[in-house]
Amino acid sequence: METITRKSLIYKSGLGFYCLNHVQGCSHGCRYPCYAFSMARQYGRASGENEWRQPKLVANAIELLNKELPRLRAKAASSRLEEFRIHLCLTTDPFMYGWPEIQAMTMRILEQINAFGLVCDVLTKGVLPHELTGHAFSRENHYGISCISLDEGFRQRFEPGAAPYADRITALRYLHDHGLRTYAHIEPYPTPNIIQQDFEALLKAMDFVDSLYFSGWNYSPLAAKYPDRKEFYAGLEQKVRTFCSANKIDCEI
Ligand code: SF4
Tell me the pLDDT tens digit for each residue of 150-163: 999 999 999 999 99
pLDDT confidence of residue 116: 94
Per-position DSSP letters for 156-200, written without gaps between them = HHHSTTSPPHHHHHHHHHHHHHTT-EEEEEEEEEPPTTT----HH
Average pLDDT score over residue span 168-194: 97
Average pLDDT score over residue span 24-43: 94
Residue 52 CA: which ligand 1 atom is closest?
A: 5
Measured N-to-C along each axis, helices 61-77 and 100-115 cross at an angle, to the nearest 10 degrees, of 30
User: 46: pLDDT confidence band, cut at 50, 70 and 90?
Assistant: very high
Helix (H), strand (E) at residue 88: strand 86-88
pLDDT confidence of residue 113: 98
CA distances from 137 to 68, 122, 152, 189, 234 (A): 19, 12, 32, 32, 39
Alpha carbon of 51 to ligand 1 centroid (Å): 14
pLDDT score of 96 more than 90: yes
Q: Which residues line ligand 1 (CB under 6 A)?
A: 26, 28-30, 34, 36-37, 92-93, 125
pLDDT confidence of residue 65: 97
3-state secondary structure of 145: strand
Average pLDDT score over residue span 119-124: 98
* 36-40 contacts, C-beta under 8 A, 24 or more apart: 36/90, 36/91, 36/92, 39/91, 40/91
Report d(CA 174, CA 178) in Å as an integer.
Answer: 6
Alpha carbon of 163 to ligand 1 centroid (Å): 12
The angle subtended at Cα 154 by Cα 150 and Cα 155, nearest 5°, is: 75
Q: Produce one character per residue of 96-105: b if its CB has 16 or more CB atoms within 10 Å, e if not.
A: bbebeebbeb
For residue 253, how many other CB atoms are within 10 A of its CB?
A: 15
Which residue from 104, 94, 109 is spatially nearest to 145, judged by alpha carbons? 94
Closest residue (by CA) to atom 7 of ligand 1? 34
pLDDT digits 0-9 by tens, 208-237: 999 999 999 987 888 889 999 999 999 999
pLDDT confidence of residue 29: 96
What's the chain's average pLDDT? 96
Alpha carbon of 183 to ligand 1 centroid (Å): 18
Closest residue (by CA) to atom 6 of ligand 1? 30
pLDDT confidence of residue 222: 86
pLDDT score of 73 more than 90: yes
Q: Produce one character per residue of 49-64: b if its CB has 16 or more CB atoms within 10 Å, e if not.
A: eeebbebbbbebbeeb
Residue 125 CA: which ligand 1 atom is closest?
A: 1
